[in-house]
């Protein structure tokens, strides 16, 4: 188990199908369909106001932040900010998706986040992505060193 939020990467990649194969019994098929519908509702709400292209770029920026932190690059935040700036048409989406990373989907909460995040710069987005990656990597190191999963904080 790692702290890198693989589910977040799946979400931003647009995955909507269960990763486990569905058995042939009718009950299990209904259960799998319900899970898929629930995940689709979750994704629809989480990605409201975003485009597939914006989500893909954002997913790649999440991966980029992770790699920059793995490589312990000095100036990771400014480098990521520069890369985010290459896509001015998606700045609002990047801010929106960053604000939604740790929150459970809720229409009311999204409206609050939109207000709270107005005026956030790309520096703020880059800093948030780098901080998340560094925290997750620190969590991974503690787990690899034998720390108990319950004793490792999963939120920074």
Identify whether the C-beta of residue 140 lies closer than 8 Å to the C-beta of residue 4: yes
Q: What are phi and psi of 121, to 5 degrees?
A: -90, 170
Q: Residue 37: left (phi > 0), alpha (psi -120 to 50), or beta?
A: alpha
39 in Cβ contact with 62 (< 8 Å)? no
Q: Is the dihedral of CA 76, 79, 81, 86 positive or negative?
A: negative
Pick left, alpha or beta for residue 148 (phi over 0 → left; psi -120 to 50 → alpha; otherwise beta): beta
For the chain, counts of helices (H) and of strands (E): 7, 0
Enter the pTM of the model: 0.67
pLDDT recorded at residue 127? 93
Q: How far apart are CA 53 and CA 100, in angstroms?
A: 17
Confidence of residue 93 (pLDDT cuts 50, 70, 90): confident
What phi, psi does 50 have (nearest 5°)? -125, 165
CB 82 within 8 A of CB 124: no
- CB-CB contact of 9 with 62 (8 Å): yes
Torsion, Cα of 90, 94, 100, 101 (10° steps): 130
The pLDDT of residue 105 is: 62
- What's the confidence (pLDDT) of residue 103? 66
The more confident residue out of 95 and 67 is 67
Rounded to whole angstroms, how far apart are CA atoms 82 and 100?
22
Q: Where are the domains of the chain?
A: 6-151
- pLDDT tens-place string over residues 3-17: 444 434 444 444 444
Over pLDDT 90: what percentage of the chain? 31
| Residue 144: other Cβ atoms inside 10 A | 9
Has residue 153 got a pLDDT over 80?
Answer: no
Average the pLDDT over each of 26-40, 45-59, 83-97, 137-151 and give the range with the smallest value: 26-40
- pLDDT tens per residue, range 27-76: 666 676 677 777 777 777 777 788 999 999 999 999 999 999 999 989 99
More confident residue, 144 or 100: 144
């Amino acid at each position: 188990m790692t702290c890198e939020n693989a589910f977040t990467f799946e979400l931003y990649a647009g995955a909507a199908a269960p990763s486990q194969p569905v058995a042939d019994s009718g009950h299990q098929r209904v259960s799998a369909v319900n899970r898929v519908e629930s995940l689709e509702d979750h994704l629809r709400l989480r990605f409201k106001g975003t485009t597939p292209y914006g989500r893909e770029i954002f997913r790649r920026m999440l991966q980029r932040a992770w790699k920059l932190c793995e490589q312990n690059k000095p100036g990771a935040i400014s480098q990521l900010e520069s890369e985010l700036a290459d896509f001015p048409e998606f700045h609002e989406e990047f801010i929106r998706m960053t604000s939604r990373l740790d929150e459970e989907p809720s229409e009311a909460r999204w409206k609050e986040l939109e207000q709270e995040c107005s005026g956030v710069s790309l520096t703020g987005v880059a800093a948030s992505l780098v901080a998340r990656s560094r925290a997750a990597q620190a969590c991974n190191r503690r787990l690899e060193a034998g720390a108990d999963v319950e004793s490792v904080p999963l939120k920074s």
